[in-house]
Amino acid sequence: MMSAIPSPAALSLDFIVVGGGIGGLAVAYVLSKAGQRVRVLEKNGMDLPSGGHRVPPNFSKILRQWMGEEELRKLSVRCVGSPSFNLRTGEVVGYLEWKPAVLAETGGDFLLMHHKDLVRTLHKLATDAGAIIDYNTEVTSVRQGTEEDAKPSVTLANGDVITADILVGADGCRSLVRQVVLEEEDCAEPGGMTLYTGVVDAEDMLDDPDLAPFILSDEWAIGMAPGRSMAGHPVAAKKQYAYHIYSWNNLYGLPQGGEETWDEIYSTANLDTNAYGLAVQKALKLTTNLIRTQWKTRDKVDEWVDSTGRIVLLGDAAHPSFPGGTHGTSMAVEDAVVLGSLFSHLNMIDQVPSFLSAYQELRQRRCELVNAADIGNARMVALPDGPLADKRNADMRAKNDDWDEGTLKAQFEEIAEIFAYDAGDAAEEWWVNWGRFSAAAREQPSMTDFFSGITMHHS
C-alpha cells in the first residue's frame, strides 16, 4: 500500500480551496504535504451542529496513516457488526458481522465517528502542515483566468479579491464553484427523501433499558420499514449516539422538504413518531433539534475541470453524494488523496492540465458507482411490505447462519471493490504508467530542436 502522505514536489503553486468541510480540509492537508501553498476559505465557523459518520476501511486506513492508530482509537468506535431490525416492532431481522478476516484483507477497520471529531482532526493536520484556514470567510464570486493572466480569483463578502494558481471547489452539493465550471445554472430536483440527523448523549440513554443496548454496542444498527429507515451507532468513543432517519416520499415517514444543506435545524416537537418503534421514539424525545437535509438529484457533472484548466471540483461539488450514505465522506477524502498525490510530482506548470484530467479520470467512475450503491442500499431498507421486502428479510436472516470459507470469500468479493481500494496507489499507478513518461518527454529536447540548431552545409 502506498502512503497517503505525499512527499513535497519540486514546484510549489498557490492553491485556494473554497469550502472547509471534510473534503476541503483533507485536500488542504495532502496538498500542503505535497509542498503546495494552500489557503482554505470557509463561510461558516468550525462548530456547526453535526452528526455521525461511518468510516469504512478504504477511509480508515487513510486516517490511520495520517493520525496514527492511537489517536484514531481515541476518537472512534470500531464497528463489529450491523443488526437489522423492524423499525415498527423492534424485532431483529438479521445480523451482518464485519469479520476481522474480511476486513484484514482490505487493510482497514470499519469505524464509527462524529463529524466534529473528523473536522477537528483534519483541521489540525492541515494547519500543522502549513495550510492557512480562514473561517467565517464567504466567497461571493469566482472568476476564471484569462489568456493574459491564467490565474483564477475569488471575491469575498468583504470585497477582498484573492488570486491563486489553482482553485479547488470543495464547497458542497450547492457549489458556487461548480456553476463556473459548468458555465450554467445547476438544476437540482427533489429526490424523494428527506434526512433527519440527531445525536443523543450516552448518559441520557444508559438509564433506559430500551436504549442502553444501542449505546453500549459496537454496532451500526439499521431499522427498516415501508417508506422510512434508520441508521444509528455510537460515536465519540461511546460518549454519544448518532442517528439518521430517512423519510421517503411521505410514506408514513417524517415530513418531506427542507433544504439541500446541513444547517437547517428542525425541532423534534414538530414530529409525529407514531409509525416508529419504542426505541426510536425515545431517542427522538431525547433530542431537542434535528438537522434536516433534503436529497436532490441532478444531471451528472461531466467536467470537473473548467475550460481554463485551473479550476477543479472535489467531493460533493464534483459528485453530490446521497445524504446519510456510508460513502460520501470517504469519496471526498479519496479525491483529496489522489489530487494531492498527483501534485506531489509537479515540477513544471505545464503538467497541471494532465494532472487535473488524470484526477477526474481516476475518480469519476468510482464515485458514481459507490454513490449508486448508497442509494440502492437506502431504497432497499425502506421497501414497502410485499414480496421484495420478504426476500430482503430472508436474505438478511440467512447471513446469521454459520460462516464458512466460501461465505467469507463471497463477502470479501462483495465489499473488496469499495473497501480494498487504495487512493494513493491509484494515483501512483497513473504516475508510473503515464505521468512520468509525459513529463520526461516534455523535458527532453525534441528532434525538431536538434535539427533547427544544425547549419546545413552544401558541398
Question: DSSP per residue over 40-62, as a string?
Answer: EE-SS-S-----EEEE-HHHHHH
Give me the pLDDT at residue 452, please. 37
Give me the pLDDT at residue 256, please. 77
- Asked whether residue 446 is assigned to any structural domain, the reply reads no
Which cell goes with 306? 473548467
Nearest to 230 by CA among 166, 169, 273, 186: 273
Give tens-digit pLDDT for 36-69.
Answer: 999 999 999 988 889 999 999 999 999 999 999 9
The total of other beta-carbon atoms located within 10 Å of residue 88's CB is: 18
Length, in residues, of the chain: 459
Q: Any idea which residue has 497541471 for its cell? A: 352
- Asked whether residue 195 is assigned to any structural domain, the reply reads no
> DSSP secondary-structure letter at 251?
S
Give tens-digit pLDDT for 140-182.
Answer: 999 999 999 999 999 999 999 999 999 999 999 999 999 999 9
- Cα–Cα distance for residue pair 314/103, rounded to 1 Å: 27
Burial of 312 (0-12, 13-18, 19+ CB in 10 A): buried
Entry pTM:
0.92
User: Domain span at residue 176?
Assistant: 14-188+299-438
- Asked whether residue 389 is assigned to any structural domain, the reply reads yes
CATH of the domain at 434: 3.50.50.60
- Asked whether residue 413 is assigned to any structural domain, the reply reads yes
Q: How many domains does the chain have?
A: 1
3-state DSSP assignment of residue 38: strand
- Cα–Cα distance for residue pair 214/459, rounded to 1 Å: 94
Give tens-digit pLDDT for 308-337.
Answer: 999 999 999 999 999 999 999 999 999 999
Element (H, E) at 329: helix 328-343
Give tens-digit pLDDT for 276-291.
Answer: 889 999 999 999 999 9
pLDDT at 1 > cutoff 70 = no
- Asked whether residue 222 is assigned to any structural domain, the reply reads no
- Cα–Cα distance for residue pair 283/206, rounded to 1 Å: 12
User: Any idea what the Cα angle at residue 256 is, between residues 251 and 258, rounded to 5°?
Assistant: 165
3-state DSSP assignment of residue 284: helix
- Asked whether residue 393 is assigned to any structural domain, the reply reads yes
Give me the pLDDT at residue 397, please. 84
- Asked whether residue 39 is assigned to any structural domain, the reply reads yes
pLDDT-derived band at 408 (thresholds 50, 70, 90) equals low
pLDDT at 404 > cutoff 70 = no
User: Any idea what the Cα angle at residue 242 is, between residues 238 and 245, rounded to 5°?
Assistant: 155
Give me the pLDDT at residue 448, please. 38
The total of other beta-carbon atoms located within 10 Å of residue 160's CB is: 9
Which cell goes with 81? 457488526
- Cα–Cα distance for residue pair 255/234, rounded to 1 Å: 26
- Asked whether residue 232 is assigned to any structural domain, the reply reads no
